[in-house]
Chains A and B, each alone.
Chain A
């Protein structure tokens, strides 16, 4: 079973830690270590400020608490088996290619936002996302890609006065 495979061993008596949670804990420990290291580089408070605690104290305390809580994570399945089983059920489903494609598409859109400007970005989003997600009604997509950004532009730019960066459209507007 997929749930079992997350544990250190298939033998139920020998289960000591939860494999996926161990990896998760290692990521959190690495993050904590990085934050602690970075906090160590903060300069001390000037003497003129007297007893004020240094800028690194609070983040370091948080890292210690974080590491303490993280240490429990690989063994959490022993404390709350049902809850961890529920989490396993979800994460055992692989991230689908469509989700990765969506992430890539969104990153590309945001990357191009400065160049495209607000209106074209909205148009590209409304055109591309439904198509990538498998919408076959192309007429509906075209209507949606034209009308929805138009509605948003009218509502926020024309009625509410929100600034929409023109981007590449600036060339045509001139």
Chain B
């Protein structure tokens, strides 16, 4: 209880409230602007937070993450262009409702279901994180290696175009993490005589390049794209009777979203799609879905915001990112000198509670912002791309340089962005790469330690029951994306 109070008192300082509110504002803004996303905003923000109080910085990013998930629904509803991938499902009914002349109601339903989903997930996060951390404290290197293997295997099912390409991107990320001095032997690896590479590739410039620069190049292809937009005067909250009718959908989606969020690598996008499908499956009027049905908005919105809270559980308790965005928060934790994983909650419990408080604040904050600023946020879509993206480039330049005052990092940022752009065109998403990059060191470290403990014999790893458990899970998660295809092939051959 003392830690909870300490965590809350940290974020209740005026400066920190301002930072968290800034995070909420930036989150809604980047969520609302198509092309900009919360991972991109966190990547851009990260270097500027070095000089700030670490707890406040991380809380700000957590608030941005929550608000960004909601922000995406604004453009999904008003212009049928989801500001962020998790809002894709919201657009299906949200835009239709807006077209039917009720944009304010659609926004209100999205906001209130997001808040409820978010708050439920945050309380589950608060309860589950210490339990999971306590279990993880009993893990040795081999168990942790099994866990990281499982987390990486989950990339196969991560939202993206192809499971194989996700896995390749993940392996590439791990491979890039091996650049620099090998801690066990002191051997310099893949530095090609470049001094800056002996310390390894820094996360921040790569993250900025992959999320911001590749998107900038992507946007250069659609400079003249016109959008049809709905004008929302204000957000209209649903009535009590309406909420009562929707409570089953909201609660179910919140639970589902939190669970999906907790699974390593599964993020808000998967949760939103499943939230939408489940809402339709349980609905008494499934035929109304796609025509501007309220359940089609609250289902995905409650799920995607709940997933944001859920994704924080493995990130903080195990040091395994629950989604692409939490992978960035994990990188920020490392940057600020924290030890993500079970020790985080034992060594710095106030940080976990501060994050909890910040996310709670963010959920209430974006409802307030939505209530008073829905009209403004519908205007941000008017910002011309020709001015928006040069500004993003300027922030990318400053951000990658500010991290360690080295021009080399600016080159890393730009080259990562160019590679990321062409990789994206060939079906490789940046999120699995980032997860691999961030988990890479942990995978190698635990693998090396396990090999030493088990006398350089991989088969001895199976002496550990926990490792066997994670190994089976890894196998299941790797094969799951293909089972559906194989089953379809079989049924088509039979027929």
Contacts and interface: CB of A to CB of B under 8 A. Distances in A.
Q: Do A and B bind each other?
A: yes
Interface of A: 20, 24, 28, 35, 38-39, 42-43, 45-46, 49-55, 58-59, 62-63, 65-66, 69-70, 72-73, 76, 79-80, 83-84, 86-87, 90-91, 93, 95-96, 98-99, 102-103, 106-107, 109-110, 113-114, 118, 121-122, 125-126, 129-130, 133-135, 140, 144, 148-149, 152, 156, 160-163, 165
A173 to B, nearest CB: 18
Nearest to B402: A162
B387 A130 contact: yes
A139 to B, nearest CB: 13
A161 B405 CA distance: 13
B178 A62 contact: yes
Residue picked from A20, A35, A45, A80, most chain B C-beta under 10 Å: A80
Contact of B414 (A35, A65, A86, A106): A106
A109 B407 CA distance: 12
B178 A58 contact: yes
Nearest to B160: A83
Contacts of B437: none
Nearest to A101: B220
B394 A152 contact: yes
A160 B163 CA distance: 43
Contacts of B466: none
Contacts of A35: 175, 190
B444 A58 contact: yes
B217 A65 contact: no
A129 B390 contact: yes
13 contacts: A35-B190, A53-B448, A53-B452, A54-B185, A58-B448, A62-B178, A73-B164, A91-B426, A110-B410, A122-B397, A133-B220, A161-B51, A163-B405
Given A58-B447, A90-B425, A122-B394, A84 B217 contact: no
Interface of B: 48, 51, 161-165, 167-168, 171-172, 174-175, 178, 182, 184-185, 187, 189-190, 213, 216-217, 220-221, 223-224, 384-387, 389-391, 393-395, 397-398, 401-402, 405, 407, 410-411, 414, 418, 421, 425-427, 444, 447-448, 451-452, 455-456, 481-482, 485
B117 to A, nearest CB: 29
A62 B190 CA distance: 14
A66 B168 contact: yes
B190 A38 contact: yes
Contact of B394 (A65, A80, A125, A130): A125
A130 B448 contact: no
Contacts of B161: 83, 86-87
Given A59-B178, A69-B167, A69-B171, A148 B221 contact: no
A-B interface, 10 closest residue pairs, ranked by CB to CB distance from nearest: A55-B187, A87-B427, A129-B390, A55-B182, A45-B185, A130-B386, A135-B386, A102-B220, A133-B386, A99-B220
Contacts of A149: 394
A86 B163 CA distance: 13
A106 B209 CA distance: 12
Given A45-B185, A156-B402, 17 more contacts: A52-B448, A53-B184, A58-B448, A83-B161, A90-B425, A91-B427, A98-B223, A106-B213, A110-B411, A118-B401, A126-B391, A130-B387, A133-B385, A135-B384, A149-B394, A152-B394, A152-B398
A161 B224 CA distance: 38
Given A53-B448, A79-B482, A133 B168 contact: no
B390 A126 contact: yes
Nearest to A122: B394
Contacts of B455: 51
A59 B175 contact: yes
A87 B160 CA distance: 10
Contacts of B456: 51, 53
Residue picked from A20, A28, A58, A98, most chain B C-beta under 10 Å: A58
Nearest to A28: B168
Nearest to A128: B390
Contacts of B410: 110, 113
A49 B185 contact: yes
Contact of A53 (B165, B213, B393, B451): B451
A144 B383 CA distance: 13
Contacts of B182: 42, 55
B448 to A, nearest CB: 6
Nearest to B187: A55
Nearest to B213: A106
A93 to B, nearest CB: 8
